[in-house]
Amino acid sequence: MSHYSITTPIYYVNAEPHIGHTYTTIVADTLARYHRLAGDETFFLTGTDEHGDKIAEAAAAQGIEPRLFADRVSGIFQSTWETLDISFDRFIRTTDPEHVRAVQHILRVVHEKGDIDFREYEGLYCVGCERFLTERDMVEGLCRDHERAPEKRTESNYFFKMSRYFGALAEQLDAHPDWIRPERYRNEVVAMLREGSGLDDLCISRPKTRLDWGIELPFDADYVCYVWFDALINYLAGLGYPDGPHWEERWAGVEHLVAKDILKPHGVFWPCMLMAADLPLYRHLNVHGYWNVDDRKISKSLGNMISPLAMREQYSFDAFRYFLLRDMSFGLDSSFTEEALVTRINADLANNLGNLVSRTLNMTAKFCGAAVPAPGEPGPLEQTVQDAAGEAAREVDRRVRAMELHRALEAIFRLVDATNKYLDQRAPWKAAKQEGREAEVATTLYTCCQALRSIGLLLSPFVPEAAGAILERIGATGLEASARLPGDAASWDQLAAGTATTRGAALFPRIESPEADA
């Protein structure tokens, strides 16, 4: 059995869940659900990053201890994902004892190897970045990312001799061109190594005299670990490193999923750390773009950051999931507006998918006693739908494995289109009025029910609640628990004649376009 592990970045607890966190988590959830259906031994890891200057600052501003601040925001993340039925296997916190132990273990290994030394350093420090900046990191004296002036600091700290591994990292990138994907981000890391881009040895400690909110260095109790060196190790700790029973199998199949703003830590720091610790590298680093939000188009009730819980309340979470997965080409930026969301819901989910479900099951109830009918001999039109199901199943599998989820959804909706077209061509509502065409009506609706079974299975990783409703209505409740993709979605004649069907309410009711804020 193949092992598949998917990780989100662990989210920093200086903000509550918003559209960016939600997109990454939905992609990870979709991949985890798909690979479980494909029969892979699957592990889905997410969590929160809780140490460092920014958290200490935020807690101080509220007059509370950092741990209380971190507990509150981490709790919001975990409860949000649970409310939204995100299927994670482990929610890790960098304050968890297992994580602290793993970080200190890695630090010992790398220190004993001679890859950590003690130096005095003077430079410009950005609290937002939680690191010293180079000239490349600044514009007109301000941090490029945080638009604030860095502080001049002179400190004695521990440094990870990261530059020792740049040559090996360049060789890895050259030997495995798809190791970081899409290719544009692999090229960015190659350029970082070639041009320098401020890369050097990495300062990995902070003196407790100015920051004690962190993991203590195992070889010097006067220092805590730099937040990025700490946080990246969650990917090992969450899988059971260093002595859990399954961590090596899980790590062998690990896929990291991150946004492009944290490419450097994941594409440079992390592989160098793994090499220094004599550990295998991850299977792939998968990097997505940004969601750009036009604040003028967002209703006040949702808030500028687009709360996933608010979206669930107003539009259903499946509808929001579908929009995010369908409208972002993985790796590129995309834009969110309520108008675009509503247009996508109405066009794809209400008018297309929802209409197919309603028409099929209403006519099955009306003409076939609310049961899957026994078909007659299939003809070329029926074969076209069956072929479309097989092609959709194969393409979805190919696209999911290539991190092209929007293309996978396009493939599923080509099957929806083909089934709607077939239904219009056969027009069973007309045939039912003509004597002697009962077998044709039964064959048509049987074919549509079989197509809905394939559609429901293929959609289940993407919109699990709606897909479950489709399968339930055609009498295939719980099929996702035993099915195997892509094969079971391509197979035909799996719904037995006589299986009871249910009409149900509109799967995705049409939505009126949101009015502009007054």
Specify whether 208 is catalytic: no
Specify whether 18 is catalytic: yes
| DSSP codes of every residue in 26-69 | HHHHHHHHHHHHTT-EEEEEEEEE--SHHHHHHHHHHTS-HHHH
Are 107 and 276 contacting, i.e. CB atoms less than 8 angstroms apart?
no
Q: What is the CA radius of gyration of the chain?
A: 26
Mind spelling out the 3-state secondary structure of 205-245?
EEECCCCCCCCEECCEEEEEECHHHHHHCHHHHCCCCCCCC
Specify whether 260 is catalytic: no
Residue 385 amino acid letter: V
Specify whether 143 is catalytic: yes
Given 260, 284, 297, 406, which residue is catalytic? Answer: 297
What kind and span of H or E run contains 471?
A: helix 464-473
Are 390 and 490 contacting, i.e. CB atoms less than 8 angstroms apart?
yes
Specify whether 449 is catalytic: no
Residue 78 amino acid letter: Q
Q: Is the dihedral of CA 94, 262, 239, 242 positive or negative?
A: negative
Given 35, 99, 129, 256, which residue is catalytic? Answer: 129
Specify whether 448 is catalytic: no
Beta bridge partners of 119: 157
Given 51, 126, 203, 256, which residue is catalytic? Answer: 126
Here the tokens at position 172 are 């890895």
Question: Pairing mode, if any, of strands 334-336 and 291-293?
Answer: parallel
Residue 72 amino acid letter: R
Specify whether 35 is catalytic: no
DSSP 148: S
Given 3, 21, 99, 256, which residue is catalytic? Answer: 21
The tokens 């599923």 sit on which residue? 412
Given 54, 146, 264, 284, which residue is catalytic? Answer: 146
Q: Tell me the C-alpha distance between 414 and 304, whole Å.
A: 34
Sorted by sequence, the CB contacts under 8 Å of residue 400 that are 6+ apart come out as 30, 31, 34, 408, 461
The tokens 């969301």 sit on which residue? 341
Given 99, 143, 225, 288, which residue is catalytic? Answer: 143
Specify whether 126 is catalytic: yes
Question: Which positions are annotated as active-site residues?
Answer: 18, 21, 126, 129, 143, 146, 297, 300
